[in-house]
Amino acid sequence: MSAASSWARRATLIVGFVFLYAPIVILAVMSFNTSRLVSVWGGFSTKWYAALLENEQLLHSAKISLAAALTSAAIATLLGLFAAIALARFGGFRTRMLFFGAVHAPLVLPEVVLGLALLTCFVALGVGRGFVTLVIGHVTLTMCFTTVAILAAMRDCDPALEEAAMDLGATPPEAFVRVALPQIAPAVITAYLLAFTLSLDDLIIASFATGPGATTLPMRIYSQVRLGVSPQINAISTLLLALVAVALGLAALVSHWRVRRER
């Protein structure tokens, strides 16, 4: 490759990554700004982080969001695993097309439509809205993502291995748990993490599905943001970004370490 094209490639990469990361970095820097104003640097301070710790409402919402994400991701991963098994191993069963379509539809459906549908359903059934309906909403939203993630891994693992295990006397559940599951375990973990982050971040489904007493963190952030840029929101945003950065860094290290060990 010529020197000129290599130089152009580097410049493109730099511009691209600056565009992707600059807004996030600026937000993080601003969270340490003493001044309330975006454009004035008043000196370094952690006072907005200290203020967060005293913001009972925000802390309560963070707990709700965390609990909803942990629960809904677990249910969505289990349902996604079952759906993936059905689609990958049961061949052409009678209502496969309907099942396939229904499992994948929420992927392309705007969240406002899904939220509206869930709310009308809860109202029609006379169910009071709160934590339970929030979890139901998030499972419905994230289950299609977990299904897609696990299904891709199921298609990569050879059914002949499970058949061999069954020929040697394993029952179908045993064959699945002892042969297929270890192979798709990384995809199951990815699916859980994906569902977890989607639930933690969701504003729209939560606004429709939840009730008083179970206001999520994105809902609080959203109502604050509508009033304008706020230093406390910068601080909590930075904490959430740092959490993701640490998690991604750990994941990268683990996979790097595994690749090296396999060599």
Partner 1 sequence: MSARRRLSLGERLVIAAPYLWIGAFFLAPMLLVAKISVSQSALARPPYRPIFEFSDSLADIWSKAQNFTLDSYRALISDTLYVESYLSSLTIAAVSTLITLIVAYPFALAMARAPERMRPILIGLAAAPFWTSFLIRVYAWIALLKDEGLINNALIALGVISAPLQMFATPGAVVVGIVYSYLPFMLLPLYAALERQDPSLREAAADLGASPAQVFLRVTLPLSREGVIAGALLVFIPAVGEFVIPDLLGGSETLMIGRTLWNDFFSNHDWPAASAAAIALVALLMIPLLLWERARLREGERAQ
Tokens at residue 68, please?
A: 């909803």
Cα torsion angle, 229, 234, 240, 245, sign: positive
Q: 231 with 36: CB under 8 angstroms?
A: yes
Query: Residue 201: which residues within 8 A CB-CB, separation 6 or more?
Result: 218
Tokens at residue 18, please?
A: 């600056």
> According to the binding rule CB under 8 A, does residue 163 interact with partner 1?
no
Binding positions for partner 1, 216-235, rule CB under 8 A: 218, 221-222, 225-226, 228-229, 233
The total of other beta-carbon atoms located within 10 Å of residue 141's CB is 26
Nearer to partner 1, 124 or 168 (CB): 124
Letters for 5-44 (x = contact with partner 1 by CB under 8 A, - = none) are: x--xxx-xx--xx-xxx-xx-xx--x------xxx-----
Rounded Cα distance between 35 and 55, Å, is: 19
> According to the binding rule CB under 8 A, does residue 175 interact with partner 1?
no
Helices (H), 31-157: 47-54, 56-89, 96-108, 111-125, 131-156
Nearer to partner 1, 140 or 215 (CB): 140
Binding positions for partner 1, 186-205, rule CB under 8 A: 197, 200-201, 203-204
Q: Using CB under 8 A, which of the segments 47-55, 84-92, 156-164, 177-185 binds partner 1? A: 84-92
> According to the binding rule CB under 8 A, does residue 210 interact with partner 1?
no
Binding positions for partner 1, 102-121, rule CB under 8 A: 102-103, 105-106, 108-114, 116-118, 120-121
Strand partners, 44: 33
> Shortest distance, CB of residue 76 to partner 1, whole angstroms?
9
Tokens at residue 66, please?
A: 């965390």
Nearer to partner 1, 46 or 120 (CB): 120
